[in-house]
Structure 1
Amino acid sequence: MKKYIFTMIAAAFGAGAFAQQLAQTVKGRVLDTESQQPVIGANVIITSLNPVQGAATDAEGNFRIEHVPVGRHAFRITSVGYDDAFLQEIGVGSGKEVELNIRLTESFRALDEVVVKAQKETGAPLNDMVSVSGRSFTVDQTKRFAASVNDPARMALSFAGVSTTDDGGNLIIIRGNSPKGLLWRMEGVEIPNPNHFASEGTSGGGVSALSANVLGNSEFLTGAFPAEYGNATSGVFDLKLRKGNNEKREYALQAGVLGLDFAAEGPIGAKGGASYLANYRYSTLSILSKLGVTMGDAVNDFQDGAFKVYLPYDEKAVVSVWGMGGISTSTVNNDDIKEKFTSNRGMLGVNYLRYLNSRSYMETIVSYAATRQTGDFLDKESQDVYQQNFINQTLRVSSLFNAKLNSRNTLRIGAIINHLDFNLFDQNNEDGPFVKNLDQKGNTQLFQAYAQLKSRLSPNVTLNAGLHGMLLGLNNQYAIEPRLGMKWAVAPRSTISLGAGLHSRTESISTYFAQVKAIDGQSNLVNKNLKLMKSAHFVAGYEFRPSAGWRVLAETYYQHHYHIPIGPPNTNSPFLLHNSMLNEIDGFVNDSLVSAGKGRSYGLEVTVEKSLTAGIYLMSTTSLYQSKYTGRDGIERSSRFNGQFVQNLLAGKEWKVGKNKTNIFAANIKLLAAGGNMTTPVDLEKSRKEGRTERDWSRSYSEHLPHYFRTDLRVSYTKNKRRTASTISLDLQNVSNRLNAFDRYYDKKEDRVKLITQVGLIPVLNYRLEF
C-alpha cells in the first residue's frame, strides 16, 4: 500500500513538473516520393532532443509525437529500403499543432555497394524531377526573413538570381529577364498574378494577396524547368496550400500595418480525416481611410481570402476544394489628377486524386480563374482622359498520370486544356478625339501536354528528361519544347547538376487584340499572329554540403531568347525601332509588333546558406549577370533589367528567454546591394516642347541608374503559454532611410530633368495570436 501511495505521489509530481514544460504535438505523414503511397513503419526521430523522441508510421503512413517541447527541432526520417530524409529548423509552438508532410526516396543499391549520396536537406526542391535552379521554401521563412512581411514574392528576392529595385512593389526579376516571364501556380495549376494593385499582364503588385496562414511549403524555380511547367520563360512560383488540422480546431488572429487577418481550421465530421482551412484579411489602410486618416494623395483599399477543404473520398481517393480571391482599389483626387484604379481576382479549384494501384496515381483538376482591371484617369489641366476595362476568365481542365515503374524509373504525363474568355476595352483622348486602342470580346483555347521520365541510372546519377508541347488556338502558334536535367552525386556531400530546355510563353490576350491604326485610318489587329516567345536555357551547378546545416551552391547559366515582339520593318517610331518587349513589365501594348527580336542573358550565382540550427541562420547570395536585347535596329543593347550584380546577406539569431526558456526573442537583418536598372535618357528639348517627359529612344536603356542599397531589420518576441502562442514583431524596412533612385523624368514647373526617388524608412508593426 505504501509503495502504491509513493508511486502515485511520484507520478503526480512528475505530471506537475511536465505540465510546467510547454509542449505540443507533432504529427504528419510519410509518403513514397514517386508513387505517393504511404511508407509503413518509417521512423520519425527528433534528433535535437536528448533523449530523442520519435514515432513510427502506421498502415496509412501517419505518425504522431506528443509532448514535444516548444522550440526549434531537427528531424531524421528512416525506413528500410529508403534513403534517409532530414528536416531542419522546424518551429514548434504552443498555439498550434505541427503537421509535416515527408517524402522518402526508395533506395535500390546492393547491400555491399559503396554509395556516394548527397543528403536531401533544407532548400532542396520538393519536386524530384527538378535538377537545377530550384529550391523549396517554408512558410516560416516568409514570416522570419527581414522585409518579407509574410509575402513569398518578397522573400524570394533574397534568393540567388533574383532582383528588384522597386520598393513599392514585389515584381520579381529573374536572371535579368522581364518579370512577365514568371509563371504562378497553385495546387498544380496556373493561376493569375496573386497580388493586389496588379496591372494587366504583370506578375507582381503592391501587396501580396497570399496569406501565410494557408500556404504550405512551396517551390521556386529560376531556370531549365521540368516538362510539367509550361507557359513560362523566366521562373516558376509553385505554391501549395496546406491541409487544415483534422483532429482539433485551431485559430489565428493577426493585426498589422497591412491588414487584419483571421484564420480558422479544424476537422469536418467526427472521423475520417476531412478538414477545412480558411483565412480572411481586411486592409488596415481601408480602416484608417474610413476613420478619416489619410496617407498621401492615394486612398488604397484591399481585402482577400483563401480556403482549402480536404475530403478523403475512400481509401484510394481524395478530393480537395480550394480557392482564393482579392479585391483592391486605389483612388487619387487632387489639384492635378483624378484617378480610380481597381484590380480584382479570384480562383476556384477542385482536385481529384486517385491511387490506381501501389505504384501509380492520377490527379484531375478543374479550376476557374477571373481577373478584372478597370482604370479611369483624368488630367485636370489638359482634360486628357484614359479609360480601361479588362476582364479575363479562364476555365482549366488538367490531368496527370504518375507511375513508379520500378525503383529506378518514374514516368509522369499530363495534359491541360485552357479555355480563355475575354472582354477588353481601352481608350484615350490624349491626341484629340477619343481613340479606341482595344475593344474586343470573345474566347480562345490554349492546349498543353507533357511527358517526363525520371531515371536513376545509378545510385549516384539521376536523369530527368521530358517534352512539353503548347498550342494557342487564337493563331495556331505552337511550340515543342525538349527538357533535360541531370544530377550526379560525385562525393558524399557533393553534387554536380546540369539542365537544358526550351521554354515558351504566350503574350497577354490584350496584346494580341490591340487595335493599331493603319495609314488609311482603319484599325487592324496587326498583333494577332504573334509567335510564342521562346527562351533556351542552359545551366550547370555544383552543390557542397559540408555538414547537415550548411550548403554551398554555385550555378552558371546562359539563356537565348528569340521570337521576341519588336517593331515592324517599316516603323518610323523611335520607340519601336530601338525597343523590345523584353523590357516591358506589363502586358498591354497598343503598338504594331512582329516576332523578330532576340536577346540573351548569362551569369554566375553563388549561395552560402546555414539553416536555422543552434538559434542562428545565415544566407549569402551573390549574382553577377548580363542581360541584353536586340531590337529592330539590329543593335544589341543592355536590357532595362541589366543591373549586373546583386548581393544579399541575411542573418538571424533566436534566443530562448523567460523563466522556463519557452519564449523566443529573435533578431534578423538583411543587407542588399544591387546595380540600378537601365533607363532611357530624357530628351530635354522635346520634353519642353511637349510639356511632358519624352525619351531619347535612339539611346534606349543606355543610362545606368545609381546603385541600390538597402538595410532591413526585424525583431520579434514570441510568448508561449499553455494553449496559446503570441508574437509581436517590428520590421524596419530601409532602416538607413536611403532614398534609392527609381527613374528620371522632366519636371515642367522647374524645367529640368529630376530623379524620382523611392520611399525611405517604413516601419511595419504586427501582432499574431495562435490558439
Structure 2
Amino acid sequence: MKELLAFAMLVICIFTSVTAQPTHQIKGVVIDKSTRQPLEFINVLIIGTDRGSVTDSVGHFIIDDIPPGIYRLQASAIGYKTTITSEYILSTKNLNVDIEMEENSTELQGVTITASPFRRDLESPVGLRIIGVQEIEKSPGANRDISRVVQSYPGVAFSPAGYRNDLIVRGGSPSENRFYLDGVEIPNINHFSTQGASGGPVGIINADFIREVNFYTGAFPADRGNSLSSVLDFKLRDGDMERNSLKATLGASEVSLASNGHLGRKTSYLVSVRQSYLQFLFDMLGLPFLPTFTDAQFKLKTRFNERNELTVLGLTGINNMRLNTKLEGEKAEYILSYLPKIQQETFTLGAVYRHYADAHVQTAVISHSYLNNRNTKYLHNDESTEENLMLRLRSVEQETKLRLENSSTFGAWRVNLGFNLDYSQYTNTSLQRVYIQQANTFDYRTALGLLRWGIFGTMSYASPDEKFTASLGVRADANNYSSRMNKLSEQLSPRLSLSYRLIEGLYASGSAGLYYQLPPYTGLGFKNNDGELVNKQLRYMSVSQGSIGLSWRKSSTFELSAEGFYKEYDRIPYSIVDGIPLACKGNDYGVIGNEELTSTAQGRSYGIEVLLRWLIAKKLNLASSFTLFKSEYRKDKRSEYIASAWDNKYIFNLSGTYNFPHHWSFGMKVSCIGGAPYTPYDVEKSSLVNAWNAQGRPYYDYSKYNTGRLPAFGQIDVRVDKTFYIKRYMLGFYIDLQNVTKSTFKQPDILMSTGEIENPTAPQAQQRYKMKYIEQKSGTLMPTLGITFEY
C-alpha cells in the first residue's frame, strides 16, 4: 500500500508541472416558476466571484472564461425573490443551468430579504439539512457514499465496528427511514440490505447522479409517508442538452462508467454501470465475508414543451455475498459460524409526469420496486448433507405505487393535495432452525397481497417579508391486512410547523406531528407450521414527535443552530421470543421481523442538537455538530423504560474541506460517539448443543437486556484530492485515509463453542458444548486510492 500511495503522489506531481487550466462557459435560462416563461434583465452572479451576466429577451445568460470547479449561482431582479441555486460541477465542458424564480407579489419599503445557501422550507423549518455536491464529492471517510456523508449531521449515529451503513437517526431504528429519487420511492439505498430494515456495506446510488439531498430528521412533508425517523430525498441532475460525455471512476469499492448527454432536442439522459471489487478489499483485510455487487442506474427526462415534462428513472442492484471459509483463526470463526450466504436482486423503475399550469402544478408518480432475497446457512458451512441445513430463506417483496398530487400557489399561500394507492406482494418460503425452550424448525410458505391507500394535504403561509411562516398538514393511511389497519381515521397524521424571525438573521422555529409506519412485510407475512398468520393483531407503528430550535445566520456563509426534540413511540412490534422491541434489531445482515410479534412496545427518544456550518465559496466547507440524547424502550405501558440498542448518549463530528489553488483540496473529519449498551450472554442456553446448532451463535440473556455499556469511540479520517483539467479531459485522484489514529473499538469477548461436547453420554437435549471466549476488537487504518477520468 505504501508503494501505491508513493506512485500516486509521483504521478500527481508530474501532472502538476505540465498542465494548464482550461476555462468554460456557465450558461442557461431563467424562467418564472409559475408561468414557465423566460425572464429578461435578470442579474445572474457566480457566488464567490465577481463574474456575472444579465439575461436577454428570451431569458438566456452566458458567463465566459470560468475555470473548473464547484459553483452556486445567484439570480436577482426587482419584483422577484432572489434565488440561490444548488451546487453544480463545472468540469470538462460548458455548464447549463436552469433557474426558476418566484414572483415577489408585495414589495415592502425598507425590507430586505437576503438569499442564503442555507435554504429554509415552509413545511420543515426544523429537522431539514440540505446536502450539496461539495460535501458528497469530498467528505472525508465517506468515499462518496451518501449514507456515510449524513453521519456528519446532528442526530445521526455511526457504527464504530464499521463496514455497515445503518442509518440510525435521533435514537430510532434502522428500519424507520424512507428514500426518494426525484419523487420516486425506493426501498433501500444500500447493497446487501437487511430485509425488514436497511443498512449494508456500501451504497447503491451513484454519487455522480446526485445534485443535492434533502435530509429530513423531523417535520416530514405530508406527501412523504411511512417514516418514523428520517426521509432522504435525492434530487438528481439532468443530462446535458448540448454535449454527450463519458466518466470513469475507480473508487474505494467499485469501478464505474457513466454517460451524460441528450437524445434529440427534448430528451436528456444519465446512465451508469458499476462493478465492485469489494471482495478483494475485504479479502485483503482478512474479513470473513466477501461481498460482490453490480448496479446500474439511469434517468431520462423529456421536456415536451414549457408546461409538460416526463422523467423516467431506474435503479438496479445484483448482490452476492460469499463466505471467506479459507480464513483461519478465532477472529473469523465467530462470524463464519452464523453469517449466511446472501444473494439479492433489487430494482426500482419509476416515472414522474409533471404539468405546469401557472399557479398550479400537477404531478403523477408511478413506480414498481422488486426485492429478491435469498439466505442460506449450513452448520459449520458444510453443505455435504441437508442435515446441516440451518436456514434456507427465499423471499420476494414487490411494490407498485401510484401517487397523484396538485400544488397551488395563491399569493402568500401554498396548498398541496394528493393521494396514493399501492399494491404490495410478499412471498416467502422459509426453513429455519430455532431454539425456543427446545429445538424446533419453522417450515412455512407465505403469499401475501396487500392493498394500501392514503390521502394527504398541506397548507402553508409565508408573510411577504418572510418574517413569519406556518404550515399545517395532515395525511391518513390504511390497508386491507386486517380490521385494525383498514380505517383512515385510525392512522390520522396531523403536523404543524411554525417559524418566526426574532431579529435580523435569528429565527425561532418549531414543529409537532404524529407519524405512522407499517410494520415490515417479514412480520406481516410470518406463519407458524400450521400455516397460520400469527401476527394479524399487528397495527401501524406510531411516533409523536416535536422539536423546537433557534437558527442564527450571521451572513450568507455562516449558520449556527440548536434544536431540541422529543419522540414518543407507540404500537412498536415486540418480539415474543426475545422479549425486546423489534426496533432494537436490524443492524446486522440477514432478516428481521420473521417471528411472532405483538404491537405492545413503547419508546421515547429526546435530546438536543447543535450544528455549526461555515461556507466560503470555492474555499471552505466546514460543519460541526454535537448531539446529546437519550433513547429508551419498554415492553408495554406498565413496564419501566430501559436503554434501547441505539442509546449512545452523545455524538460529535467536526468535518471540513479546504480548497487550495491548482485544484488541490484537503479534508479532515473528527468523529466521537458514546458507548452503546449491550446485553450479556446466556451461557447456560448458548452451551446447549441443540441451541447452538440452531443459530451458530450465542444467545443473549434478555433478562439483563442492555445492562452493560461499551466504551466511547473516536477516530479521525483524512482525504486529499487533486484534479487535472487538460482541454476536454479531466483526471482526478484522491487518497482517503479512514481512522488515521488507528483507534481500537473494544467489545465484550464473544462466547463461542469449541465444537467439543463435554457430556457426550447425556441425552441429546441435555448435551453441552465446551465454550470459550474470543476477544472482539476492531479498528485499523483503511487507505483508499480513487481515480476519476471524464471526457
1:404–1:370 Cα change, 3 Å: same
CA distance in 2 between partners of 1:398 and 1:698 (Å): 45
The equivalent residue for 2:199 is 204
What's the RMSD between the two structures over aligned residues? 2.6
Structure 2 residue 446 is matched with structure 1 residue 446: no
Instruction: For 2:37 and 2:715, locate their aligned partners in 1 and report how far apart those are by CA, in whole Å.
Output: 46
Say whether 1:462 aligns with 2:458.
no
Q: Which residue of 2 aligns with 1:624?
A: 628
The alpha-carbon distance between structure 1 residues 181 and 36, as it changes in their structure 2 partners (threshold 3 A), is farther
In the TM superposition, what is the alpha-carbon distance from 1:583 to its structure 2 partner? 0.8
Q: Which residue matches 2:586?
A: 585
Specify the SS of the correspondent of 2:594.
Answer: coil
Conserved 8 A contact 1:437-1:590: no
- Write out aligned runs for 1:726-737 (5 A): 726-737=731-742
> % of aligned pairs identical?
23
Amino acid at match of 1:475: S
Query: Who is 2:609 aligned against?
Result: 605
Could you list the runs of 5+ residues in structure 2 that have no partner in the other structure?
A: 1-18, 327-335, 755-769
Contact 1:179–1:203 under 8 Å retained in 2: yes
- Within a 5 Å distance, the mapping from 1:367-382 to structure 2 comes to 367-380=367-380
In the alignment, what sits opposite 1:525? 533
**Equivalent pair of 1:543/1:554 in contact (CA under 8 Å):** yes
> What's the CA shift for 1:286?
6.0
> Is contact 1:467–1:482 with CA below 8 Å preserved after alignment?
yes
Report matched runs for 1:515-554 at 5 Å: 515-516=527-528, 522=530, 524-554=532-562
Counterparts in 2 of 1:409-558, with a 5 A limit?
409-430=413-434, 435-436=441-442, 438-459=444-465, 460-476=467-483, 477=485, 478=488, 479-516=491-528, 522=530, 524-558=532-566
Shift of 1:53: 2.3
What is the 5 A alignment of 1:38-187? 39-50=39-50, 52-56=51-55, 59=58, 63-73=61-71, 75-86=73-84, 91-93=89-91, 95-112=92-109, 114-115=110-111, 117=113, 119-124=114-119, 128-165=122-159, 166-187=161-182
Q: Contact between 1:652 and 1:669, CA under 8 Å: does it hold in 2?
A: yes
Partner of 2:655: 650
SS at match of 1:428: strand
Distance in 2, Cα, partners of 1:664 & 1:31: 33
> Which residue number in structure 2 is paired with residue 352 of structure 1?
353
Please tell me the residue identity of whatever aligns with 1:560.
Answer: E
1:712-743: per-residue Cα shift (whole Å, max 9, x none)? Answer: 11111111222122110011111122232456
Alignment partner, residue 665 of structure 2: 666
1:89 to 1:365, Cα distance in 2 relative to 1, 3 A: closer
Q: Secondary structure at the match of 1:216?
A: strand
Task: Give the conservation status (yes or no) of the 8 Å contact 1:43–1:57.
Answer: no
- Once the two structures are TM-superposed, the CA of residue 28 in structure 1 deviates from its matched residue by 4.0
Distance in structure 2 (CA, Å) of the matches to 1:64 and 1:647? 43
Q: 1:322 to 1:640 in 2, by over 3 A?
A: same
Alignment CA distance shift 1:42-1:473 (3 Å): farther
Report Cα offsets for 1:589-608 as digits up to 9, x if no partner. 23322212211111100011
Report deviation, 1:564. 1.2
Identify the residue that residue 11 of structure 1 maps to in structure 2.
none
Q: Which runs of 5+ in 1 are unaligned?
A: 1-18, 657-662
Q: 1:128 to 1:111 in 2, by over 3 A?
A: closer
Matches of 1:703 and 1:274 in 2, distance apart? Answer: 58
2: CA distance, partners of 1:449 / 1:313? 29
Does residue 243 of structure 2 align to residue 231 of structure 1?
Answer: no
CA contact (8 A) 2:253 2:281 kept: no
Cα offsets for 1:689-713 (capped at 9, x unmatched): 4555121211111211111211111
SS in 1 for 2:290: strand
Distance in 1 separating the partners of 2:646 and 2:544: 19
SS in 2 for 1:150: coil
Alignment of 1:631-646 (within 5 A): 631-632=635-636, 634-646=639-651
Q: Which amino acid aligns with 1:159?
A: Y
Aligned equivalents of 1:35, 1:455: Cα separation in 2: 21
For 2:730 and 2:252, the matched residues in 1 are separated by 20
Deviation at 1:246, TM superposition (A): 0.6
Shift of 1:362: 0.6
Cα distance change, pair 372–174 in 1 and its aligned pair in 2 (3 A): same
Cα 1:419–1:242 shift into 2, 3 Å: same
- Work out the CA distance in 1 between the residues paired with 2:746 and 2:284: 28
Output the CA distance in 2 between the equivalents of 1:62 and 1:481: 44
Residue deviations 1:40-66, cap 9 Å, x none? Answer: 54321124334x32232664x554433
SS at match of 2:80: coil
Q: Could you tell me how far apart the structure 2 residues matched to 1:169 and 1:727 are?
A: 27
Partner of 2:307: 316
The aligned counterpart of 2:393 is 388
CA contact (8 A) 2:422 2:451 kept: yes
**Partner in structure 2 of residue 240 of structure 1:** 235
**Residues 185, 191 of structure 1: 8 Å contact kept:** yes
Question: What count of residue pairs does the alignment treat as equivalent?
Answer: 724
Distance 2:509 2:255 in 1: 44
Could you state the TM-score of these two structures normalised by the residue count of structure 1? 0.88
CA contact (8 A) 2:28 2:96 kept: yes
The SS at the match of 2:523 is helix
CA deviations on 1:108-145 (whole Å, 9 max, x unpaired) are: 44442x4374x4423435x5532211021123311111
Using a 3 Å threshold, how does the CA distance of structure 1 residues 104 and 135 change in structure 2: closer, same or farther?
Answer: farther
Q: Distance in 2 between matches of 1:603 and 1:57?
A: 51
Alpha carbons of 1:513 and 1:138: their partners in 2 closer, same or farther (altered >3 Å)?
same
Q: For residue 275 of structure 1, what is the aligned residue in structure 2? A: 268
From 551, 565, 568, give the equivalent of 1:560: 568
Per-residue CA distance 1:615-636 (angstroms, 9 max, x = gap): 2232110000001111147121
Query: How much does 1:241 deviate?
Result: 2.0
**Cα 1:91–1:108, aligned 2, differ >3 Å: closer, same or farther?**
same
Distance 1:416 1:687 in 2: 47
Q: Give the secondary structure class of the aligned counterpart of 2:225.
A: coil
Q: Assess, with a 3 A threshold, how the Cα gap between structure 1 residues 103 and 454 changes in structure 2: closer, same or farther.
A: farther
**Offset at 1:82?**
2.1
Q: 3-state DSSP class of the match of 2:149?
A: helix
Any conservation in 1 of the 2:269–2:300 contact (CA below 8 Å)? yes
SS of the equivalent of 1:698 reads helix
Q: What residue number does 2:682 align with? A: 683
- 376-385 or 459-468, which moves further after superposition? 376-385
Say which of 730, 733, 757 aligns to 2:777. 757
Shift, 1:614, TM fit: 5.7
CA shift at 1:385, angstroms? 1.8
For 2:145 and 2:650, locate their aligned partners in 1 and report how far apart those are by CA, in whole Å: 23
Q: Please state how far the C-alpha of 1:298 moved relative to its aligned partner.
A: 2.9
Whole-angstrom distance in 2 between the partners of 1:107 and 1:667: 41
Match of 1:281, SS state, is: strand
SS of 1:650's equivalent in the other structure is: strand
Shift of 1:91: 4.7
**Maintained 8 Å contact 2:404/2:418:** yes
Residue type at the aligned position of 1:732: L
The answer to whether the Cα contact below 8 Å between 1:35 and 1:361 also exists between their aligned partners in 2 is: no
